[in-house]
């Protein structure tokens, strides 16, 4: 069986995402998977076959898939619907007859729970790497840098060795190829310098593997998975019972700023969030101040 019209258009859509929209290869892979599953389940061969009925049947199919809480989570279901909606918008742009993208409503999801650790737990985590061995210096530099900048783990792993530390800031290329500026705390700057001073390798990555892992690979650059294991190791060492990941340190970075009076827009820029709605998961932090505001300013004229 040859390539159908819908499959051809799907390939054009994925190329459009890559070339014109500059989306990451990971995003394109995901969109491909979501759309392929919809096309396969709906048994469609042309864009005109995409109907509300077929979308509803696909949603029922997704809803009945086993997931975390016996069915596939609404948040995961929405990934499929977002991809389908983007595809339909692309078709409309090309004047291809299909379903109106506005007809697809996303499933309602509950407020996102943030994995947070207390200030005391954060302190125990940060002071985990002891001594002045190369590994301890590297791990201290990683933890200090994560908390100082709020970097995503993939951004941290991609950092080059020739990072300019003469200024207290540097640029990083994040999601969607967007560049933002992040800032170094004195502690992070010192930790990176001490780690760099002791390094004997010539690899051009800022953070590299060590020990037996380094012997088994030509590419010494530390992987996100290795950084996750490293953070988990120091969390356990610090007696923190909840799950701690590099992303939890990113949350700590954001909440620390907000608790000390930073505004949401600035935190959005520092985190590299495209939409303020993503940053709004942190409003619970600013909400804490509302009690104090109410107590300080409300009802003062009444006897």
Measured CA to CA, the distance from residue 166 to residue 180 in angstroms comes to 18
Measured CA to CA, the distance from residue 16 to residue 178 in angstroms comes to 18
> Which sequence positions are flagged as catalytic?
152, 175, 247, 250, 273, 282
In this structure, of 112-121, 203-212, 248-257, the range with the lowest mean pLDDT score is 112-121
Q: 206, 137 in Cβ contact below 8 A?
A: no
Banded pLDDT at 1 (limits 50, 70, 90): very low
CA distances from 31 to 35, 63, 95 (A): 6, 19, 21
Banded pLDDT at 246 (limits 50, 70, 90): very high
pLDDT attached to residue 151 = 93
pTM of the entire predicted model: 0.67
Q: 110, 69 in Cβ contact below 8 A?
A: no
CA distances from 84 to 59, 81, 99, 206, 214 (A): 12, 5, 10, 39, 42
pLDDT digits (tens, 9 = 90+) for 68-83: 554 567 778 889 999 9
Q: 50, 88 in Cβ contact below 8 A?
A: yes
pLDDT attached to residue 128 = 93
According to DSSP, the residues that pair with 189 across neighbouring strands are none
Give the mean model confidence (pLDDT) for residues 132-141: 94
pLDDT digits (tens, 9 = 90+) for 39-63: 999 999 998 999 999 999 998 888 8
Which structural domains are found in the chain, ordered by start? 5-103 (1.10.150.130), 119-292 (1.10.443.10)
pLDDT digits (tens, 9 = 90+) for 254-275: 888 888 888 888 888 898 888 8
Measured CA to CA, the distance from residue 176 to residue 24 in angstroms comes to 6
């Amino acid at each position: 069986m040859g390539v159908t019209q819908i499959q051809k258009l799907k390939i054009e859509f994925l190329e459009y995402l890559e070339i014109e929209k500059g989306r990451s290869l990971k995003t394109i892979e995901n969109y491909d998977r979501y759309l392929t599953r919809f096309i396969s389940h709906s048994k469609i061969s042309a864009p005109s076959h995409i109907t509300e009925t077929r979308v509803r049947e696909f949603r029922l199919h997704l809803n009945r898939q086993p997931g975390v809480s016996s069915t596939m989570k609404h948040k995961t279901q929405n990934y499929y619907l977002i991809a389908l909606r983007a595809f339909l918008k692309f078709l409309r742009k090309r004047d291809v007859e299909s379903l109106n993208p506005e007809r697809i409503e996303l499933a309602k999801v509950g407020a996102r729970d943030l994995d947070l650790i207390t200030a005391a737990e954060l302190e125990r985590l940060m002071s985990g790497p002891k001594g002045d061995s190369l590994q301890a210096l590297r791990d201290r530099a990683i933890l200090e840098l994560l908390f100082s900048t709020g970097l995503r783990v993939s951004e941290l792993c991609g950092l080059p060795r020739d990072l300019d530390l003469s200024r207290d800031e540097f640029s990083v290329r994040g999601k969607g190829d967007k560049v933002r500026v992040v800032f170094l705390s004195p502690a992070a700057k010192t930790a990176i310098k001490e780690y760099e001073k002791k390094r004997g390798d010539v690899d051009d990555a800022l953070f590299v593997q060590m020990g037996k892992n380094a012997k088994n690979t030509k590419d010494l650059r530390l992987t996100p998975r290795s950084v996750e294991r490293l953070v988990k190791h120091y969390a356990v060492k610090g007696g923190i019972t909840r799950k701690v990941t590099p992303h939890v340190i990113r949350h700590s970075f954001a909440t620390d700023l907000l608790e000390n009076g930073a505004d949401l827009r600035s935190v959005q820029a520092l985190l590299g969030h495209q939409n303020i709605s993503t940053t709004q998961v942190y409003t619970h932090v600013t909400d804490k101040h509302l009690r104090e505001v109410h107590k300080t300013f409300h009802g003062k004229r009444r006897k």
